[in-house]
Copies of this chain bind each other. A is one copy, B any other.
Amino acid sequence: MDIKDVKKVTIAGCGTEGSQISSMVAYKGFETTVWLRSEGSIDRAKPRLESVRKQILGELDAWKADRGEYCRGLSDEKDLTDEQIDQLRAQAEERLSHICLTTSAEEAFSDADVVIECINEDPAQKRAFYEKISGIMPEKTLLLTDSSTFLPSTFADATGRPDRYMTLHFANQIWRNNLTELMRHDRTSDESFELAEQFSHAIGMVPLKLNKEQPGYILNTLLIPWFKAAMCLVASGVTDPATVDLCWELDTGARPDQTPFRKIDKVGLPLALKIISMEPGADDPSTPAGMMVALLKSYVDAGKTGIAVDEGFYKYDENGNVIK
């Protein structure tokens, strides 16, 4: 199958990622269907899609008002006129209001060219889902998973189409952080890998290719040891978060919000705590992992879970700026 043959794309699940992915797929002009397990799930999905729709339209408005606000995922062309941005906006309003929501697996999958699985990170649920749809999808369908914790080989057999199954992993706020990590398993075909790459381009993403399975993909493989090194420096009493962040900023010229502790505040301290708690020695307060757990727990227990609640390692004002 060539990218030109991809007409209908179905997204299974409509959480944070599912709602963003569905919206970007629709924004780029594909016939977009969201499959959900129940009418209750549909009721919860609607406000999420509406919120993403507002964010995307808001990004276009901001871009029109200030060209520095250009958002890579929303236009390949950087230099557009006001009229061209208006056209994009009108098209976006139209397309984002035509996302089809359904609980019917038949309607969602029987003629889908690409399916993107964004359901809960629960292996039993994922397996049951794959087994259920394997008999409904046509032969041609490329099946992608956005799972951030499971490797595609885990479910390849359950899908009934290991050669047309692989990971397409998205970031958050994908219109801005428009990267996809493409990860194949041993039996993914070259054709599927290439189609996933073309599809990424077609939905405004920059594809990053992994030739084999790697837990954490590229981005988390880089971020997690960097986060750990930063947290270790603070947990062991060597220095404080602001000094670590300033050091990174001064050496690399990074934007202040792209330094280790500012980024952990965005990820959220509970997720950092969950990851560090799985490290060897996390139960022993004398090990580096144990010290990091104690540090993170002290913040999480005090309700300082990150920028989402205006306080993590830093305090933030309502615009997300650090309060000194």
In A178-220, which residues have CB < 8 Å from any B CB? 178-179, 181, 206, 208-212, 214, 218-219
Which residue of B is nearest A247, CB measured? B218
Which residue of B is nearest A181, CB measured? B247
Query: Does A81 touch B at the CB level, under 8 Å?
Result: no
Binds B, one of A135-143, A251-259, A273-281: A251-259
**B226 contacts A247, CB within 8 Å?**
no
With A and B bound together, what is the CA distance between A260 and B218 in angstroms? 12
Contact partners of A154 in chain B: CB under 8 A: none
Contact partners of A309 in chain B: CB under 8 A: none
The answer, among B209, B212, B254, B255, for a CB contact under 8 Å with A237, is: B212
Q: How far is the CB of A261 from chain B (nearest CB, A)?
A: 11
Query: Does A323 touch B at the CB level, under 8 Å?
Result: no
Question: Which 7 A-B residue pairs are closest in the complex by CB-CB distance?
Answer: A225-B225, A252-B258, A218-B247, A179-B250, A214-B238, A226-B226, A225-B229
Query: Does A222 touch B at the CB level, under 8 Å?
Result: yes
Q: How far is the CB of A83 from chain B (nearest CB, A)?
A: 29
A181-B247, A250-B179, A254-B254 known; A229+B221 contact, CB < 8 A: yes
Each complex incorporates copies of this chain amounting to 2
**B243 contacts A208, CB within 8 Å?**
yes
Q: How far is the CB of A152 from chain B (nearest CB, A)?
A: 14
**A238 contacts B212, CB within 8 Å?**
yes
In A10-69, which residues have CB < 8 Å from any B CB? none
The answer, among B177, B214, B248, B255, for a CB contact under 8 Å with A250, is: B177
Contact partners of A229 in chain B: CB under 8 A: 221-222, 224-226
Q: Can you identify 13 A-B contacts, CB atoms within 8 angstroms?
A: A179-B251, A181-B247, A208-B246, A210-B238, A211-B237, A212-B236, A212-B238, A214-B233, A218-B247, A222-B233, A225-B226, A253-B255, A254-B258
